[in-house]
């Protein structure tokens, strides 16, 4: 029994016996105490930083990147404080290590030069925040979302779900495209090449129609089409669209490419390939030389009337009286302001009381105007007529319902561009005012409603409806 006690006492003395190294005294007990103290302090630091990030900062409504940056800085700050305080708390004099600082400092400076650069770069990323957690970035050929910024490296998750660890100094020293920085609304370019001889107005219509078919493309700012240059084998266009989903940029581009290719095919617009065409001028003479007894070619068969739904928007607009004298460039500007919509028979375009959100011009077909509350048919409108202007000009809900009587093709101008539309086409603005003036009884009722709402003063519609309407259009749209 005494032998066991002697062994235990011997081990305890060895565990606690200080060893002098120069002016420093250190023991195994001190080393173990330091180790477990550091482990406990790191655990507490991580717990507090996670609590700060996931609870406190969330309640304070900080964004994800700010929460991660603040929590990371807090964690490393507390660990640094722990490295300074714990040794002194357990009785270790830090001044004893001063003799090691000079020699080790030089060696560590060379050996850990890259680590030091990444450490400083990590601090820059956390403090300046050129990128933050949750941002979608593009670095050389790498695209992905930042998932974590540590003091040495940053973790980026690509669109394929692969986590890539990038040293912080690369993010600091290289050019980065941050799609999420500031305003997340960004514009993307879809290059389109078409064959020479293609109608540029038709190409513009097709590309804008393709943009509107992709639901993730923003309607404001509006999509645009630029004719960029004339290539060796093609006329080159750019379809420019705005999105607010930077992470979905590549899928949106792919979707638009599919839609554009399908639209070009439907409208017989060729995408050129590098080739050489041989044109023979005197084909009839050559035919007679090689085939003297062949019969002449029959004349081409004239096609019948083309279905209006297969006509281009450019052709349909030219059928409308207001636009018959428009040049191709003027029609291009018109097409950029609106879009074509085909509505099946017996379908409501809008109901009485709906919010006025668009102006419609009938390109083909027939619609009927209905007073739904009174269950009364008011009138029919055909190609060249327009409707929906009253709610926009007077700033009131729809005064009647509109329903198609047959398949009807409409040119639709949305509310947000209606002002520019009227300003660009003052002759049409005058015709709209004249048409409204003919509906005097309805206007009197609507004027009374606006007076009751306190929107209008004591203007007298009875004197001259046309003048009152033009004043109203000027007040609302500056026309």
In a domain, 392, yes or no: yes
Residues 461, 328, single domain; the answer is: yes
In a domain, 118, yes or no: no
In a domain, 298, yes or no: no
56-80 b/e (C-beta count within 10 Å ≥ 16 → b): ebeeeebeebbbbbbbbbebbebbe
pLDDT above 50: residue 25: yes
Residues 199, 339, single domain; the answer is: no
Residue 81's pLDDT is: 79
In a domain, 16, yes or no: yes
Q: What is the CATH number of the domain that holds 101?
A: 1.10.287
- 389 versus 17: the higher-pLDDT residue is 389
Residues 217, 256, single domain; the answer is: yes
Residues 193, 340, single domain; the answer is: no
Residues 379, 328, single domain; the answer is: yes
Residue 305's pLDDT is: 39
Q: For the segment 365-418, what is each residue's pLDDT rounded down to a tens digit?
A: 999 999 888 888 988 999 888 888 777 777 778 888 999 999 999 999 888 887
Q: What is the CATH number of the domain that holds 434?
A: 2.60.120.10
- Residue ending a domain, choose from 87, 111, 135: 111
Lowest mean pLDDT of 67-76, 219-228, 333-342, name the range.
67-76
Tokens of 8: 């235990």
| Torsion of the alpha carbons at 411, 414, 420 and 424, rounded to the nearest 10 | 0
Task: Find the mean pLDDT for residues 350-369.
Answer: 91
Lowest mean pLDDT of 171-185, 208-222, 279-293, 458-472, name the range.
458-472
Residue 103's pLDDT is: 52
Residues 324, 406, single domain; the answer is: yes
- 353 versus 275: the higher-pLDDT residue is 353
Q: What is the CATH number of the domain that holds 201?
A: 3.30.70.100
Residues 249, 326, single domain; the answer is: no
- 238 is in which domain, residue-wise? 186-266
pLDDT above 50: residue 68: yes
Residues 463, 428, single domain; the answer is: yes
Beta partners for 166?
154
In a domain, 294, yes or no: no
Percentage of the chain modeled with pLDDT above 90: 20
- 104 versus 271: the higher-pLDDT residue is 271
Tokens of 200: 């540029």
Tokens of 5: 């006690």
Residues 54, 156, single domain; the answer is: no
Task: Find the mean pLDDT for residues 310-339.
Answer: 81
With H, G, I as helix, E, B as strand and everything else as coil, classify residue 56.
helix
Residue 13's pLDDT is: 61
Tokens of 467: 């003048």
pLDDT band at 225 (very low <50, low <70, confident <90, very high): very high
Which residue pairs from 434-441 have beta carbons closer than 8 angstroms and sit at least 24 positions apart in sequence?
A: 434/466, 435/386, 435/389, 436/389, 436/390, 436/393, 436/465, 436/469, 437/465, 437/466, 437/469, 439/390, 440/465
Residue 349's pLDDT is: 95
Tally of structural domains, the chain: 4
Residue 468's pLDDT is: 59
With H, G, I as helix, E, B as strand and everything else as coil, classify residue 190.
strand
Residue 107's pLDDT is: 53
pLDDT above 70: residue 473: no
In a domain, 304, yes or no: no
In a domain, 300, yes or no: no
User: In angstroms, rounded to a whole number, what is the distance separating the alpha carbons of residues 359 and 398?
Assistant: 11
38, 85 Cβ separation under 8 angstroms: no
Q: What is the CATH number of the domain that holds 140?
A: 2.30.30.60
Q: For the segment 183-223, what is each residue's pLDDT rounded down to a tens digit?
A: 788 889 999 999 999 999 999 999 999 999 898 999 888 89
In a domain, 438, yes or no: yes
- Residue ending a domain, choose from 234, 266, 298: 266
Q: For the segment 146-196, what is each residue's pLDDT rounded down to a tens digit?
A: 888 877 788 999 878 889 998 888 888 888 888 887 778 888 999 999 999
pLDDT above 50: residue 262: yes
Residues 174, 100, single domain; the answer is: no
Asked whether the CA dihedral 425, 430, 433, 439 is positive or negative, the reply is: negative
Residue 207's pLDDT is: 95
What is the chain's mean pLDDT, rounded? 78
Q: For the segment 75-105, what is each residue's pLDDT rounded down to a tens digit?
A: 878 877 777 777 777 666 655 555 555 555 5
Residues 53, 77, single domain; the answer is: yes
User: In angstroms, rounded to a whole number, what is the distance separating the alpha carbons of residues 363 and 387?
Assistant: 12
pLDDT band at 448 (very low <50, low <70, confident <90, very high): low
Residue 386's pLDDT is: 85
pLDDT band at 39 (very low <50, low <70, confident <90, very high): confident
pLDDT band at 445 (very low <50, low <70, confident <90, very high): low
Residues 447, 336, single domain; the answer is: yes
């Amino acid at each position: 029994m005494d032998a066991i006690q002697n062994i235990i006492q011997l081990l305890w003395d060895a565990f606690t016996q200080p060893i002098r190294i120069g002016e420093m005294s250190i023991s195994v007990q001190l080393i173990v105490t330091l180790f477990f103290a550091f482990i406990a302090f790191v655990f507490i630091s991580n717990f507090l930083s996670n609590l700060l990030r996931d609870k406190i900062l969330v309640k304070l409504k900080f964004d994800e990147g700010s929460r991660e940056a603040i929590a990371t800085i807090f964690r490393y700050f507390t660990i640094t404080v722990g490295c300074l305080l714990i040794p002194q708390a357990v009785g270790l004099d830090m001044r004893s290590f001063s003799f090691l600082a000079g020699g080790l400092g030089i060696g560590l400076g060379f050996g850990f030069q890259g680590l030091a650069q990444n450490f400083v770069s990590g601090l820059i990323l956390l403090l300046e925040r050129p990128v933050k957690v949750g941002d979608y970035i593009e670095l050389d050929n790498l695209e992905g979302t930042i998932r974590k910024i540590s003091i040495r490296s940053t973790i980026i998750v690509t669109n394929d779900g692969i986590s890539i660890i990038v040293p912080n100094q690369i993010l600091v020293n290289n050019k980065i495209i941050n799609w999420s920085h500031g305003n997340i609304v960004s514009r993307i370019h879809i290059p389109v090449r078409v064959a020479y001889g293609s109608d540029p107005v038709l190409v513009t219509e097709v590309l804008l129609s393709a943009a509107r078919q992709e639901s993730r493309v923003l309607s404001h700012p509006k999509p645009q089409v630029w004719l960029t240059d004339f290539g060796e084998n093609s006329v080159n266009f750019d379809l420019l669209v705005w999105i607010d989903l930077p992470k979905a940029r590549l899928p949106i581009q792919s979707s638009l490419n599919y839609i554009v290719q399908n639209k070009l095919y439907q409208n017989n617009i060729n995408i050129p390939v590098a080739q050489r065409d041989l044109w023979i001028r005197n084909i009839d003479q050559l035919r007679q030389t090689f085939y003297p007894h062949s019969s002449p070619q029959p004349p081409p068969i004239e096609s019948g009337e083309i279905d209006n739904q297969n006509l281009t928007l450019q052709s349909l607009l030219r059928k409308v009286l207001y636009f018959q004298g428009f040049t191709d460039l003027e029609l291009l500007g018109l097409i950029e302001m609106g879009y074509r919509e085909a509505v099946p028979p017996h379908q409501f375009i809008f109901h009485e009381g709906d919010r006025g959100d668009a102006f419609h011009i009938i390109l083909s077909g027939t619609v009927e105007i209905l007073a739904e509350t009174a269950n009364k048919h008011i009138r029919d409108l055909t190609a060249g007529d327009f409707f929906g202007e009253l709610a926009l000009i007077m700033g009131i809900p729809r005064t009647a319902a509109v329903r198609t009587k047959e398949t009807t093709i409409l040119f639709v101008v949305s509310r947000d561009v209606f002002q520019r539309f009227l300003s660009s086409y003052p002759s049409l603005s005058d015709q709209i005012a004249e048409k409204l003036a003919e509906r005097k009884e309805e206007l009197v009722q609507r004027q009374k409603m606006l007076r009751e709402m306190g929107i209008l003063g004591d203007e007298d519609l009875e004197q001259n409806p046309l003048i009152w309407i033009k004043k109203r259009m000027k007040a609302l749209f500056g026309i």
